[in-house]
Chains A and B, each alone.
Chain A
């Protein structure tokens, strides 16, 4: 009888709300993404999408990190550049341990960069590091092959530091896919990975140097993109993402679901082939810029007030944005005027422009979906340009781009946040840039400025070069930015409080699983 009373009394007690089983602690959260991210070591992780490298940051640490305002100390408590800018001295925290209890020292930092020279970290280029010297247990000097302005954000803040005692002697690290090899120093340990379903279970590492993680377990599930909002609403996951603004209205006033709006870190752009007889003409490209109503395209694509594309490429929300570039307001008459100047005239009065030899002006457009391409086709039709759309899958589009087999190509991708060196990698073709064949800038001045900004460590002086690069891009228009996309993360506010990382995670990733959101002290 006494037992029955006890059971009844317990049943009548108010049930603890989710995430409140212990004060301030959340037992587990579930996050959605639409693909598997591979095994979580720096060598086996999938580079198909940013999810893998982002999850790595929960298991591994970097020398520096980013919060909502910018770069902050992490494994390194302090750092300074050498007077010539070709070396950085980092002082490490004394209290960092690997998940297996071994202390993390300067030797591990040296080993990491040396190991990445033989087995590259596939997300970011580390070849600029020419050598690493251990001064003492906590001090390490990283020497660079040249002055490299984005080093702190793009290398020190991105490259995972790995334990020497785990990876030493391993010749095929991409094949090491056991839990024993996924040893990091980060706030979470990989407890389970189910590759067939792309599910991950990360559990808190209680000896973490920044304190005991508040979210005790993080699970990742594969949910198709189009079903993520439904999954959040039904409680299947605690956070999911969409790129349309509908989420703001849909969840306004919801008792516990909140919406986090990221910086516009994704770019939608029209790439114009500089080697093609038609699109290679600057007048044609500028006419296209006047003919496309970028504001309307942005509003339609993001279902709300969108952010229209800047002809200088850098998003207007970025600290590196240069507002003094050529703007190209929507003006079909100006577009027709520019086309007339280069000899495209409607000679037979049928509404379509003809070339000098009397043949109709027809331009090809490679795109991933008919809907995206249709808007462009219609707007260019209004100024007399006939567009023939070829819809292909992303891998085919990348191949056509790499081979320069396109006239115009519509693409969306991330990477327009963070350090502005992407202007160099996108438009000079130095990295394995998929658009290098068609849209690399021919201007010697642009190439010179790209090199100058890369070597300039003074932000103010670097800004002058970056500003001029944007101005040149807006004049030449190797690409026309149509609009920028924000990511709208819908999450259960009772369980955790994500925030938008300044410039995006790592090199501009618009994801919200910044480890700071799960740690005491937060952002």
Chain B
């Protein structure tokens, strides 16, 4: 229990660092919300009153230290501020977008983990098999492709050539119908972004699960289990409990990397998630939105990683009692 508390304390320190970094990170970017507004307007000049109003309304005319104190004070009250470009509360913007990204990422992680673990297990059970080696090479090749390339490939083949799926958006614009129809429509639109993310994730899961399982498959306890005539399913359960730890660690690490991938995928598919929101906010130097999105995504990643660590802690005695 003491270990758990220490662990939790470490996460809280990390969270405090994230809170500070999210304030300074957007301000370290070249440009400012004012230059973002002028550049984004498509004009050479904006009225001076417009820029004065932006400066006053969003504390941009105050010293950095004062801005930081006001940011912390607002954050303490649960207020993420208002978007400089849309004037809407950042919490509302995130709440509108988060379900789209959470659904997409949740599905992609689950599907990639299931498919990856299944393929990794299949491969680990066939050491030396040519088919398994060929599949491994294919997976490595797929893993080398960047997300945007996979996305463009999906759009060209499934969206444009075969016209099986929509090439952009989260749902049919202003489409009617009941809940079932809505769900089907959302799933239909999410198909290509999800396939892209799954394709980018699967290779890592395959390789890590195969490499984690392969040494365990020849371990004496499994030789005994086989000799006792246990069913394959039972043998795999024992094997997996021993090999699970690196896979869980990887899932946590990939989740953080996935945030970057989501920005690219949502941009390519014009998908209405927080990745797209972050992309637009960075282009506009919309500090409150960048802060809000980075903060919320960091908290989400930290929370999931924390629970995955707890899961590994519960499943694998070696994690609880190192050495």
* Interface residues, chain A, with chain B CB atoms under 8 Å away: 30, 35-36, 38-39, 44, 46-50, 120, 122-127, 174-175, 177, 192, 195-197, 199, 201, 219, 221-224, 227, 230, 234, 392-400, 402, 411, 413-415, 422, 425-426, 431-436
Contacts and interface: CB of A to CB of B under 8 A. Distances in A.
Nearest to A125: B47
B47 A227 contact: no
Contact of A192 (B34, B40, B169, B174): B174
A127 B284 contact: no
Interface string B108-120: 0000000000000
Contact of B50 (A30, A35, A122, A433): A122
Contacts of B38: 398, 402, 432, 434
A196 B39 contact: no
Nearest to A507: B43
Contacts of A196: 93, 96-97, 100, 170, 272
A411 B41 CA distance: 13
B87 A174 contact: yes
Nearest to A197: B272
A47 B41 contact: yes
Given A219-B174, A227-B168, 19 more contacts: A47-B41, A123-B47, A192-B174, A199-B173, A219-B173, A223-B270, A395-B31, A395-B284, A398-B31, A398-B35, A399-B35, A413-B44, A415-B45, A426-B44, A432-B47, A432-B51, A434-B45, A435-B44, A436-B45
Contacts of B280: 35-36
B229 interface: no
Nearest to B36: A395
Given A47-B41, A397-B39, A227 B167 contact: yes
10 contacts: A35-B280, A39-B87, A123-B50, A126-B47, A192-B174, A195-B88, A399-B30, A415-B42, A422-B44, A434-B45
Given A395-B39, A434-B35, A120 B30 contact: no
A175 B87 CA distance: 6
B48 A197 contact: no
A222 B86 CA distance: 16
B80 to A, nearest CB: 15
Contact of A49 (B29, B42, B57, B88): B42
Nearest to B99: A196
Contacts of B163: 234
Interface in B248-285: 270, 272, 280, 283-285
Contacts of B53: 120, 122
Given A177-B88, A402-B35, A432-B38, A393 B47 contact: no
Interface string B79-102: 000100111100001001100100
Contact of A395 (B44, B57, B283): B283
B42 A414 contact: yes
B284 A48 contact: yes
B86 A44 contact: yes
Contact of A431 (B46, B100, B170, B272): B46
B49 A120 contact: yes
A201 B40 contact: no
A515 B201 CA distance: 48
Contacts of A221: 169, 173
Interface residues of B, number: 48
Contacts of A30: 173
Contacts, number: 162
Given A230-B160, A399-B31, A50 B42 contact: yes
Nearest to B166: A236
Contact of A195 (B35, B45, B96, B285): B96
Interface in B197-248: none
A44 B47 CA distance: 16
Given A197-B272, A393-B283, A125 B49 contact: yes
Contacts of B41: 47-50, 123
B49 A127 contact: yes
A222 B272 CA distance: 10
Contacts of B104: none
Nearest to A479: B44
B45 A426 contact: yes
B45 A431 contact: yes
A197 B285 contact: no
Given A38-B86, A124-B47, A394 B40 contact: yes
B86 A434 contact: no
A393 B40 contact: no
B270 A222 contact: yes
A436 B38 CA distance: 13
A425 B44 contact: yes
Nearest to B48: A432
B189 to A, nearest CB: 10
A50 B41 CA distance: 7
Contacts of A39: 86-88
Nearest to B95: A196
A47 B51 CA distance: 11
Nearest to A119: B53
A393 B279 CA distance: 12
A223 B168 contact: yes
Nearest to A201: B174
B37 interface: yes
A201 B100 CA distance: 21
B46 A432 contact: yes
B22 interface: no
A179 B246 CA distance: 52
